[in-house]
A = this chain, B = another copy of it.
Amino acid sequence: MNEKKTDQHADKVVTQLHFAKIGKITPQMQRVAEKEKISPERVRDEIARGRLVIPANIHHTNLDPIGIGDAVTCKINTNIGGSPIRSTAAEELKKLDLALHLGSDAVMDLTVGPYIEEIRKTLIAHSHAPLGTVPIYEAIEMVNAPEDLTADLIFDVIERQARAGVDFMTVHAGLLRAHVPMAVNRLAGIVSRGGSLTAKWMVHHKKENPIYTEFDRLLDICRRHDVTLSLGDGLRPGALADASDEAQFAELKTLGELVKRCVDADVQVMVEGPGHVPFDQIAMNMEMERKWCHEAPFYILGPIVTDIAPGYDHITSAIGATMGAFSGASMLCYVTPREHLGLPNLEDVRQGVVAYKIAAHAADIARKRPGARERDDALSEARANFRWDDMFNLAIDPQRARVMHEESHVDKKDLKSEFCSMCGEKHCAVRMSRSVKEAL
């Protein structure tokens, strides 16, 4: 009986985790191994242990898969999507193209408002990168108020999104009724959209979180389409004052239990992390996730290391993200300069993506991931030899670097010259340094 049930189960399980556990190397694992310059066996074994995920919905046909986990390079995610106040599918598609062009590894469509399905469909069709969503944003559009949400409605949306090819989904399954009182007296309260909706529902109905109580329904959907779960931190701190508090860590502990249930059910899983965290607490936060969440990949938002720089939160958070990735995070969710102020435009997306490419890459270098510094060395060598074009082409954002160089020259004939406007010809240290070498 038991044996038969296992077989039936196996028939419809299509996840990378399932195949890894039975020792099979999939084309997706092959591709990740090739991109990361590690062996396919290593990729498979890391997936089997739950330390690596390849978000790859079987219905996302134009996907070029990526690996997220400690054994591979640090990844970045770009949040795009419209809000009821702004944006259209066409505008969001431009953001997608720019993000992918600049090297974003994953994309989340966080659209809220009436155009969710249209925008998502457009994005999946165009994205070779894995695409993630927060299904509760679509569910909430179908009701008048958060308290009208039902488990059936939420799981219907999840099922529909799974069939549409969504590679990973954020669910706030670990936010329990008992956690809410721990969070309401915080300085910034509950700042996660999904988290605050879930809390509102639980408080109104005096019932436990249905995604938690009916977690097996979720696992069943994910198993059949290979949706990677991203366990959201609904109680992530939204101010430095709230960082590393009882609410945050109570939820993290529950997320750890859910990670185990996912891995046991062959469902790929990662865990989401803060938020706003003082610089000295970041390494500790990474350590807590490793300890409680069975080494599931940690996917962090920033963290922002000071609250006083609205307009520059791509910087406050890239600082935290570098420290996070250095201390163990596997994917960094970007933050744009417009965070806390409004919906990002195209220039904000550019600033955010580049800041996070910097953070992820700086951490890869610091963690001595194989070959991480090769591009830096090539660029510095081009710089030391005034090969401007090579330098621009090796840059994360060649276009912006080129424009800034061009703008700052008075005389256009100097553009190919062996100095720049910072010092001018006579004071150029690079030229001087070369002449020292020749004279020595």
A binding-site residues for B, Cβ under 8 Å: 83-86, 112-113, 137, 140, 146, 180-181, 184-185, 187-193, 195-197, 199-200, 203-204, 238-241, 276, 278-280, 305-312, 314-316, 318-319, 322-323, 326, 337-343, 345, 354-355, 357-359, 361-363, 365-368, 373, 375-377, 379-381, 383-384, 391-392, 394-397, 400-401, 403-405, 407-411, 414, 420-430, 432-437, 439-440
Contacts and interface: CB of A to CB of B under 8 A. Distances in A.
A383 to B, nearest CB: 7
Nearest to A190: B433
22 contacts: A86-B408, A146-B432, A189-B384, A189-B434, A190-B436, A192-B429, A196-B432, A239-B377, A307-B377, A308-B376, A310-B401, A311-B400, A312-B354, A312-B358, A315-B315, A316-B362, A323-B323, A338-B422, A341-B422, A342-B409, A342-B421, A342-B422
A380 B316 contact: no
Given A280-B326, A437-B184, A424 B305 contact: no
A440 B240 contact: no
Contacts of A434: 189
A423 B197 contact: no
A404 B340 CA distance: 10
Contacts of A323: 323
A264 B329 CA distance: 48
Given A188-B383, A345-B407, 4 more contacts: A85-B421, A113-B424, A190-B432, A310-B405
A411 to B, nearest CB: 8
A59 B246 CA distance: 55
Q: How many copies does the complex hold?
A: 2
Given A189-B430, A193-B427, A310-B392, A326 B404 contact: no
Contacts of A319: 318-319, 322, 358-359, 362
A359 B435 CA distance: 36
Nearest to A408: B342
Nearest to A312: B354
Given A181-B440, A308-B379, A429-B191, A407 B342 contact: yes
Given A311-B397, A338-B404, A395-B308, A421 B83 contact: yes
Given A190-B432, A196-B436, A341 B404 contact: yes
A416 to B, nearest CB: 14
A398 B305 CA distance: 18
A312 B373 CA distance: 18
B203 A436 contact: yes
A357, A365, A427 — most chain B CB neighbours (10 Å)? A427
B437 A396 contact: no
Contacts of A358: 305-306, 309, 312, 315-316, 319
B310 A365 contact: no
A365 B397 contact: no
Given A187-B381, A359-B319, A429-B193, A401 B341 contact: yes
A50 to B, nearest CB: 27
A320 to B, nearest CB: 8
Nearest to A437: B184
